[in-house]
Amino acid sequence: MTEVESAVLVFALLLASTGLGAIVRPLLPEEHKAQETVQLVQLLVGMLVTFAALVLGLLTASAKTVFDTTNTDLRSYATSIIELDHTMRDYGAGLERARALLRSYTAAAIASTWPDEAPPVGDYPAVGTSLGGADNLASRTLGELLNRGQHEVRVLAPGDAYHQRLADECATRFEDLIALRWKLVEEAHGSISYPFDRILVGWLLIIFLCFGLIAPRNALSLVTITLGALSIASAVLVILDLDTPFSGPIMVHSQPMRDALAYQSR
């Protein structure tokens, strides 16, 4: 289920919970509608609203941290690609194939991770976009391109100390690049505990059920409750979207990777 679908489902459940409360209210005995009972329900709603607001704030902060960390790591990743290409360019003859593989990898990663944007020009393997951003990053096709480039570096036979140092630096940078790639893959899957997320939705359903039980039956109450449900659903959308930085309406930007590709193509 996508982030938008999850938010729409939460919105529908909240309205359905309110409707259930409105249906049950006329069926309750009169003593259950006494002022003391209403005040007790209002007290419970206030307590649950406080808990839910606190948890929503914490989840938003956590998801924003994940998004910002991934965005920073993506910039570091693009920088590592540029530095590796620069080192291989300094090495000269013997690493042309490795540079071509790295350039193909960068272009294929851009095309598969940001499928809604214009794909890079040039020849590179098609990875496909059906798996989603995070799974496309972990694609075996992309990994094979990096592994082949790393193999080209490992089989080098430098003829002097200068090229030996450059070969060692290339090997180190390749290892760091692959480690950063897997770090991005893991970050892209998010950090929200979905059982906890469902518990939060349960709290919200109880709150809106109580709204249906105690709210007066008029147009203003209906509009207010609907707007409240819409606001909470949009907050859920933002949380889920920020927690998955490579999918949904809010995504990390592809510009750092495109800048790296442009540098490689010079």
In this predicted model, what pLDDT tens digit does every residue of 89-132 receive, in sequence order? 999 989 999 999 999 999 999 998 888 889 998 888 887 655 45
State mean pLDDT over 16-45: 84
The structure tokens listed for 109 are 């990663």
Angle (nearest 5°) at CA 60 between 248 and 49 = 120
The residue behind tokens 């209002």 is 42
pLDDT above 90 as % of the chain: 50
Instruction: Tell how far CA 209 is from the center of its chain.
Output: 31
Q: Please return the burial class of 106, using the count of CB atoms within 10 Å of its CB with bins 0-12, 13-18 and 19+.
A: buried
Rg (CA), the chain: 27
Report the C-alpha gap between 104 and 78 in whole angstroms: 14
Does the predicted model carry a pTM greater than 0.75? yes
Q: Which residues of 59-87 are buried (b: 16+ CB within 10 A; e: fewer)?
A: bbebbeebbeebbebbbebbebbbbbbeb
Q: How far apart are CA 75 and CA 257, in angstroms?
A: 8
pLDDT of residue 135: 64
pLDDT in tens, 230-245: 999 999 999 989 988 8
Residue 133 has pLDDT above 60, yes or no: no
Distance of CA 76 to the CA centre of its chain: 18
Q: How many helices (H) and strands (E) does the chain have?
A: 9, 0
State the residue for tokens 């009972």: 37
Q: How far is CA 152 from CA 91, 164, 166, 170, 261, in A?
A: 13, 14, 13, 10, 20
In this predicted structure, what is the pLDDT of residue 217? 84
pLDDT for the residue 128 = 62
Distance separating alpha carbons of residues 51 and 178, to the nearest angstrom:
42
CA distances from 212 to 11, 17, 33, 53, 184 (A): 15, 8, 13, 20, 44
Dump the DSSP string for 60-113: HHHHHHHHHHHHHHHHHHHHHHHHHHHHHHHH-TT-HHHHHHHHHHHHHHHHHH
Given a cut of 70, is residue 141 above it in pLDDT?
Answer: yes
Tell me the per-residue pLDDT of 187-233, one tens digit each, with 9 for 90 and over: 877 777 777 778 889 989 999 998 888 888 888 989 999 999 999 99
